[in-house]
Structure 1
């Protein structure tokens, strides 16, 4: 059995396995650096409270003081040694109409973020592939795209998409955890008998791969690997329970509830957090089991977003309105008193969800390192200062060193300008290029990627490399 494989069960069900050190030890070709490297985008819309987002300390090593309680990133303190926080990056094509391209600042903030390509007149979709799909085309099995997940409404235009398989080819994020999970375990190809076992008998996918699991346990596995398998299978079971308390099959009313999300009322969706955590569990399983080397998780749509009414928040206006501090999306209303504090609470909430994903990835061991250590999990945002639609000084947080390619435990100013709010020398396509090389992509000539996208500058951010 290959060290990174699938258990195959009745009717075509497949369940990926995490890295198993005992199986690698028998493979003479496998070495300590053999673990695959991955890219994950954790994408949030509408900008942040810039006054309280970045570390409270000077550039250099991250310390506990960097994550003071008045910082949105405070919940990340436990990961300080595994974080890289770059500062001074601006998006290309630039906003404010400074670069000739279709689309307004929101459209550019969504469509250009993972492509560094201009938006095309008419469709307003970017003229090139996004980083996640580029990585998948290079590193996934042939024909296997990046995993594209979403929380919230599917807006049918550039503001609802961050992933692209090519020029003007948006990849719509799956916002139904049930369908995403079905795709992950191969349930979509089940034969009639297996489907009956899952639906009428309420069996789990674990039941369907039971015989192969028993064969795996019969092998000479270490205690650590057996514990890892126990944890992995428990995660699958927990996810199934969360998705309906009935195996992997959701009750009809639950399916209807999730599938029936109305884009016009998604701001009021009380399931926003619950669906988000299901999606993160699915994402972590997919990455840990080798189902994909690249994934995106998009929370909401540009110039939109939910009304936050949970975890201590009781807002009256949606995320976009608060990002402008106005009661109307077009700024024609009145100022929302205390909106800066509300934005801070939203930023802190998203950081807590980011930590949830990091916890999941860090729990998978890969022989001395974790799935998180072998990944670059990038917290990124549509804009920096949402009120001004600013594309400069973008908020980025990178967790994981991607197998040692990136520096960690550092807060690094990558622009040479004194003011980080500039558009001079740190275009974000250089970050995309750095990440493409970090995961092991190569250019068509077999060498490193030298310039991702068609805007910006060639080369990597060398200051971010280990």
Structure 2
């Protein structure tokens, strides 16, 4: 057992188990009041949302945004994709009129996907599908500045690992320096429980072949910790909940591995590499389970999660109305049987797009549910300590719009951010997206070289400052 910036139990066969924040032991990584430090999760959806507009299908109704500005209520989100998040409405800030810069990427999806977390233009103008962003992404900045021991932030990906823009494309260390993600949720979990080197081969064998849990491999250390006189009752309950979450996660991962072995025999790829929307979303939920554990343990203060390639052009989500797989999401977003502007119109593709929005909303709810399971000493949950963002890289699909790009924020970063509202940023069509990234970075704790809050993230040519509308 090792106490320090990260409380970790080290057990048999190289297994380790990071523990949640414990108020009794005064961990330096936690805030002075015993709450978890602020963090950010970024969950990206491609292709815009099903919002009111005209397309090849005619006039499309609003199916995403709340009915009115102000307080979020069940009535204001009824029959919209956001009603999937009704249990968490009081924790949400739905932000409208987020406008990106019209950088010359030579392609709307490249402009959106590569700018969405970097706030930067391309390294080479007009390069289209060969584009690279010209700077660091905010998820990496948060990890680089705030993570224990300078540890990288976590980048997770589900879906076909190739495709437009090369697959994983939203997270950057710097100009043209794209990051590699955790693709397999098991890989992320092994990294979490086995330290930076992962589980030892013997520990993996004990878990895989003998059905043992990481909890089993650190049982002696856990018993010693639970006997410590200074450990409070709430901390003991917190550890027990954490053990249960670890075991539940292992069960879900084990089930997935069994399924994948069957699929491998049939010549079908693993779920996290699938084009089947059900499998991709299931893999994403497992990524979220691991991410919630990693945040609870203080392993990282920044996670980004991407589904599908730059235009999510391979994934086929299921239509709940028919039970059948729909056309690939990129086709649906164009409303045509095409990755371009030609091709026959797809009947009801606006409704189908809205169903994809709902499935992303439900997946985001899964993350919020997981974060809500961890209770802090004050009675707040881990969800309250940070901010989790479900965002798009386009405003709408058919027009590849750079304006009114949806951002849904959950959690207040310990009271810093507004909650329970739908707001629209002021300034008309002024570019403000990079200022949104600065505001999130500052709320989490990022600063400039002089120690003042981060307010200059993104391309140097863009307006600077924080968005006061987001603050409580």
Q: CA deviation at 1:322?
A: 0.4
Structure 1 partner of 2:343: 333
Q: Is the 8 A contact 1:140 1:292 kept in 2?
A: yes
Q: 1:410 aligns with which of 413, 416, 421?
A: 421
Q: CA deviation at 1:140?
A: 0.7
User: After the TM superposition, which residues 131-280 of structure 1 pair with which residues of structure 2 at under 5 Å, given as runs?
Assistant: 131-155=138-162, 157=165, 160-186=168-194, 188-191=197-200, 193-220=202-229, 221-245=231-255, 253=261, 261=269, 266-268=274-276, 270-280=278-288
Residues 398-447 of structure 1: CA deviation (Å, up to 9, x unaligned): 00001111111121111233xxxx3x2x4200000001100011112222
Structure 2 partner of 1:393: 404
Q: Is the 8 A contact 1:153 1:262 kept in 2?
A: no
Distance change (3 Å), C-alpha of 1:251 and 1:208: farther
Segments of 5+ residues of structure 1 without an aligned counterpart are none
Q: Is the 8 A contact 1:110 1:159 kept in 2?
A: no
Distance 2:466 2:38 in 1: 18
SS at match of 2:157: strand
Distance 1:79 1:215 in 2: 38
Q: CA deviation at 1:212?
A: 1.0
Residues 291-347 of structure 1: CA deviation (Å, up to 9, x unaligned): 100001111122214111265552431111000111122232211111111111111
Q: CA deviation at 1:269?
A: 5.8
Q: Is the 8 A contact 1:244 1:254 kept in 2?
A: no
1:449 correspondence with 2:454: yes
User: After the TM superposition, which residues 334-353 of structure 1 pair with which residues of structure 2 at under 5 Å, given as runs?
Assistant: 334-353=344-363
Distance change (3 Å), C-alpha of 1:460 and 1:254: farther
Distance change (3 Å), C-alpha of 1:180 and 1:190: closer
Q: Is the 8 A contact 2:418 2:470 kept in 1?
A: yes
Structure 2 partner of 1:285: 293
TM-score between the two structures when normalised by the length of structure 2 = 0.88
Distance 1:321 1:229 in 2: 47
Distance 2:252 2:40 in 1: 26
Q: Which moved more, 1:293-302 or 1:441-450?
A: 441-450
Residues 255-281 of structure 1: CA deviation (Å, up to 9, x unaligned): 958997389x94336522321221111
Distance 1:189 1:89 in 2: 39
SS at match of 1:267: coil
Structure 1 partner of 2:467: 461
Distance change (3 Å), C-alpha of 1:456 and 1:257: farther
Residues 34-79 of structure 1: CA deviation (Å, up to 9, x unaligned): 530001001111111012211112x2222332221x2110022221
Distance change (3 Å), C-alpha of 1:192 and 1:431: closer
**RMSD value, Cα:** 2.7
Distance 2:201 2:168 in 1: 36
Distance 1:276 1:262 in 2: 13
Q: Is the 8 A contact 1:362 1:370 kept in 2?
A: yes
Structure 1 partner of 2:441: 436
Structure 1 partner of 2:326: 316
Q: 1:382 aligns with which of 364, 377, 393?
A: 393
Q: CA deviation at 1:206?
A: 1.3
- How many residues are treated as equivalent by the alignment? 447
Q: Which moved more, 1:200-209 or 1:435-444?
A: 200-209
Distance change (3 Å), C-alpha of 1:258 and 1:12: farther
TM-score between the two structures when normalised by the length of structure 1 = 0.89
Distance 1:36 1:166 in 2: 25
Distance change (3 Å), C-alpha of 1:191 and 1:240: closer
